[in-house]
Structure 1
Amino acid sequence: MSLIEILPAPPPPAAPVFTAATPPATATVGAAYSYTFAATGNPTPTFRVSSGALPAGLGLNSTTGVLSGPRRRPARQRSRSPPRTASAPTRSPPC
């Protein structure tokens, strides 16, 4: 006698969808930081930095979505200088 096992069909592929709230925009230098990204999808989503780099000391777990570590230095802020206005050179009147 043989036994036949019938399994349900696997779920169809589904694009990843973030299900966690937006991460905090600020962190305290020297203090521990932790945030968990969450997403659903099929296959199970993984996490990575798609461009640039994380600040020094922070790490992202590609499987769990946990972003954590101590913030070691302030983020660089890009300053915007006011636009310069060009002026035409002035000429002295002939003597």
Structure 2
Amino acid sequence: MSVHDDLTAIQRSLDDLARSVGRLEQRLGSGGLDLRRVRTDADHLRESFALLRAAAAVPDAPRRPDLVPIPDTPYDGSLWTDSDDEGLGARDRRAP
């Protein structure tokens, strides 16, 4: 099965679940805590699946940021003339 087929099968199952929960609500009433929890869980599952389907619809989306190449050549020392050596204290004092 392809991903599209799997997503379609899951959508059908979720639709069946929603219909079944709706029938239970009609028969038992929607005031019970247990049935409200089932309805809420089914709704959350539908929302989560919608997010999954949206993510699967964009297969070319980058999964991680592009890598930035770091050159092997030394950096220009003049870039750090106005800063102290961090973590080592000032140049004219001793560390405790």
Same fold (TM over 0.5): no
Q: Which structure has the larger Rg?
A: 2
User: Between Structure 1 and Structure 2, which shows a larger proportion of strand residues?
Assistant: 1
TM normalised by structure 1 equals 0.26
TM normalised by structure 2 equals 0.26
Larger RCO, structures 1/2 (Cα 8 Å, 6+ apart)? 1
